[in-house]
Amino acid sequence: MTLDKNWFVEVAPEAGFAQALKIRGKLHEEQTPYQKLEIFETENWGNLMTLDGLVMLTARDNFVYHEMMSHPPIMNHPDPRRVAIVCGGVCGTLREGLRHPAIEKVIQIEIDKAVTRAAEKYFPELTEANDDPRAELLFSDAIEWMKRQEPGSLDVIIVDSTDPVGPAVGLFQSAFYADCLRALGETGVLVQQSESPLLHMDILKAMRAEMKSAGFEQTRTYQFCQPTYPSGWWSATLAGVGVDLMEFREQDARELPFEGRYYSADMHRASMAMPPFVEKAFAEDLG
C-alpha cells in the first residue's frame, strides 16, 4: 500500500508490523495473470519491485538474499552440477548460481513471465547471466514440471518462491517436496526461503515438518539479514539426502573464483548458528 505519494508501506497484519520506503514515484504497474506487479523508484534503495503489495526486492539489498539462496546449498553439495531454481523470476539467484564454474546446467522455472520481463528492464544487473549457455529459462508451472523429472536428474533445487499464499501454497507442501526428493536421487540438497524466524515461526516449523514427511533425512535452517523484508531477519531452510547439512566444502568456499558481497565461508558457517529460542522451537517438534 502507499501511505501517501511519497511512501510505500508494507503491512504484516499477522505480526502487527509495518515498514516503509520513501519513493520518488511509480515506474511500472501491471496486473499479470497471477499477481499485481509494481516497480517504484525509491529515494535511497534504488528500484523497488513489489508483488501484490509485498516487497520482493530493492536494488540496494537484494544481493544478500540472492547470494544466500544460491551459494550455501551449492557449497553444501559435494559435487553440484545440475541446479533447478523454482520461481526466481528476477534471475538474481540464477546469476549467482552460474558464478560457480563447475555448474553445468541451471534451469529456472518461473510461472510469471512478466516478472522476468520487468527485471530485464528495471534490474538489468540481475539478468546479465540469462544468456549464459548453461542457463535455461522456462515459463511454466514448477509443481507440474518437478513431477516430470527423472530420478537423480538434479543435484540442487533452490525454491526461490514468494510467501505461501496464492499460487505458491503448493510449493510448501509435502507432495511437492516428495517430487523434489525423487529428482535429487541419492545425493542432493533442497533449499527454500523460510520467512522470518521472529515473525513467522509457524510457517517455518510447518515447512520443516512437510519436508520430513516427504522423506528428507534432515533439515537445517540458516539465517541472514534482509533489511527490506519484515523484521529485517530472514531465513532459508535446507533439506538434504545423502549429505551432512552442517558441513560444506569450506576450503572451496574460501577459494571461490568470485568475491561475494555478503557470502563467504565465514558467513556460511556463522549463518548456521541459530538463537536458542529458535533451536528450542525446532527441538520441541521432535518430541
Which residues are annotated as catalytic? Answer: 160
Number of other residues whose CB lies within 10 A of the CB of residue 6: 12
Cα separation of 242 and 32, whole Å? 40
Number of other residues whose CB lies within 10 A of the CB of residue 235: 24
**70 φ, ψ (degrees, to nearest 5):** -110, -50
The residues near 2 (Cβ < 8 Å, ≥ 6 apart) are: 8, 9, 23
| Contact between residue 284 and residue 89 where contact means Cβ atoms under 8 Å apart | no
Number of other residues whose CB lies within 10 A of the CB of residue 286: 6
Locus of grid cell 516428495: 178
| Contact between residue 61 and residue 67 where contact means Cβ atoms under 8 Å apart | no
Cα distance between the two ends of the chain: 41
Nearest Cα to 193, choosing from 237, 224, 232, 155?
237
| Contact between residue 115 and residue 141 where contact means Cβ atoms under 8 Å apart | no
Cα separation of 222 and 247, whole Å? 13
80: left (phi over 0), alpha (psi -120 to 50) or beta: beta
